[in-house]
Amino acid sequence: MSDKKNKFYWDTTRNYPYESTSTLNLDGGSTEVTVEPTKEQMEELRKVEMSVPEGLEFGKPYALQDLAEKNVDGQPYLNRKDYPVYTGVLKYFPDALMELSRVSLQGNKQHHPDKPLHWDRRKSTDHLDALARHLIEAEKADDDGILHLAKVAWRALAALQEKLEK
């Protein structure tokens, strides 16, 4: 990675099982607990087929600037000007994106209440079916208080993310 400072990067490991350390306070004392990926999680990861453009390393995070500079046949992998993330997404939908973050948090609390926020892709993979079920109830809030319409948007993004990764 270049020495340029850039908080935006393409991190191919961000949703992999991880090792985390937590401190539990029990009866006035504290105990440090380390949680590692299970054997089943690691086996599932090995089944995933992923590829990267020629000249890039799998599993290595790249700053957007690096992707703009690296190229094949004179063409950059990524032209940052073609991706107006701030002006074309964050500024268009600030409230909707805040609500989407609540969907992610609630899903994590439901499936992994004792772990840091992460997307467990093995849970509920039927994004388009789930999207349609939430769309039927789009005018209402779900039992957890989150709008079904927010869950429609989350499922649409999940389906799109997985489609783009293929």
**pLDDT tens, position by position, 99-156:** 999 999 999 999 899 999 988 888 888 999 999 999 999 999 999 999 999 999 999 9
**Is-contact 31 23, C-beta < 8 A?**
yes
What confidence category does residue 34 fall into, taking pLDDT thresholds of 50, 70 and 90? low
Q: Does the pLDDT at position 89 exceed 80? A: yes
Residues 101 and 149 both lie in one domain? yes
**Is-contact 118 18, C-beta < 8 A?**
yes
**Is-contact 63 9, C-beta < 8 A?**
yes
Residues 24 and 96 both lie in one domain? no
**Which pLDDT value is given to residue 83?**
77
The residue range of the domain holding 154 is 84-166
**Residue entry with tokens 């950059």:** 76
CA-based nearest residue to 117, from 126, 108, 125? 108
The phi, psi pair for 144, rounded to 5°, reads: -85, 5
**Which pLDDT value is given to residue 131?**
96
**Which pLDDT value is given to residue 3?**
41
- Indicate the residue among 82, 105, 124 that finishes a domain: 82
**Which pLDDT value is given to residue 165?**
79
Q: Which run of H or E residues covers position 69?
A: helix 64-69
Pairing of strands 71-72, 75-76: antiparallel
What confidence category does residue 24 fall into, taking pLDDT thresholds of 50, 70 and 90? low
Torsion on CA atoms 110, 115, 120, 126, rounded to nearest 10: 0
- Indicate the residue among 66, 82, 98 that finishes a domain: 82
> For 13-17, 45-49, 80-84, 120-124, which range has the lowest pLDDT when averaged over its residues?
13-17
**Which pLDDT value is given to residue 74?**
62
Q: What is the mean pLDDT of residues 58-73?
A: 66
